[in-house]
Every structure is written in structure tokens, then in C-alpha cells.
Amino acid sequence: MKSTFTLATVLCLTSLLWSSTAWAMTLQEAKTARLVGEQTNGYLGMVISSPETQQLVLSINAKRKHYYQTIAKRHDISLDKVATLAAQKVMEAAEPGHMIQTPQGRWLKK
């Protein structure tokens, strides 16, 4: 009886863990929902703020910054230059309906 209870508890906790992971929003989902968009500085920005969106933006931007630093160091150019070039490419590649930031700082649906 005790082993059945323990097994049921483990299965229940495991399913809760998986379901919370399933609730995590992907970048593509956030872009499609127009919650986030590409900024002119090469980083992701929040169009509509929420704790989940903020967490996603912080995570993506940390990865982007690390990647930009690697490129900047490899080519001996500034981090800002790499980020600006990346912004241009990402905005050009943005799918229709995704949000991009104008030079004036406003959000525009592409």
C-alpha cells in the first residue's frame, strides 16, 4: 500500500513539473501573439508586459548578448556595432504580423 502511495505521489509531482514546463511560452508563440518584438538595438523588447513575457525577454537577451560579445571579440568590433547589424537582419527577416520597433521607438506590425 505504501509503495502504491509513493508511486502515485511521484507520478503526480512529475506531471505537475511537466505541466508547468508546458506553460512556458516560446519565443515564436510570444512573437505570434505580438507580446514581444524586435528592437532597433538588436535585443528583444516587450510590447505587452507580463511576468512571463519579462522572463522570456531577459532569457533571450542574455543569450543574444553572449552571442554578440563572441562575434565582437572574434572580429574586433564593438558590441554595439554587432547588435545594430543583428537588429537590421532580424527586422528584415521578421515574419508578417510580428512586431518591430521604429527608429522613433514605437511598435509597428510588420
Instruction: Note whether residue 76 is domain-resident.
Output: yes
Reported as half-sphere exposure (CB side, CA atoms, 13 A), residue 53 has a value of: 16
Q: Considering all CA atoms of the chain, what is the largest pairwise distance in Å, rounded to the nearest integer?
A: 66
What is the DSSP pairing of strand 99-101 with strand 107-109?
antiparallel
Domain coverage including residue 101: 26-109
**Residue 65 maps to a domain:** yes
Q: At what angle do helices 51-75 and 79-93 cross, to 10 degrees?
A: 120
Q: Alpha-carbon distance 95 to 90, whole Å?
A: 10
What's the pTM? 0.77
The verdict on residue 96 lying in a domain is yes
Asked whether residue 105 is assigned to any structural domain, the reply reads yes
Q: pLDDT in tens for each of the 110 residues of the chain?
A: 444 444 444 444 444 444 333 446 899 999 999 999 999 999 999 999 999 999 999 999 999 999 999 999 999 999 999 999 999 999 999 999 999 999 999 999 99
* Residue 91, H or E segment: helix 79-93
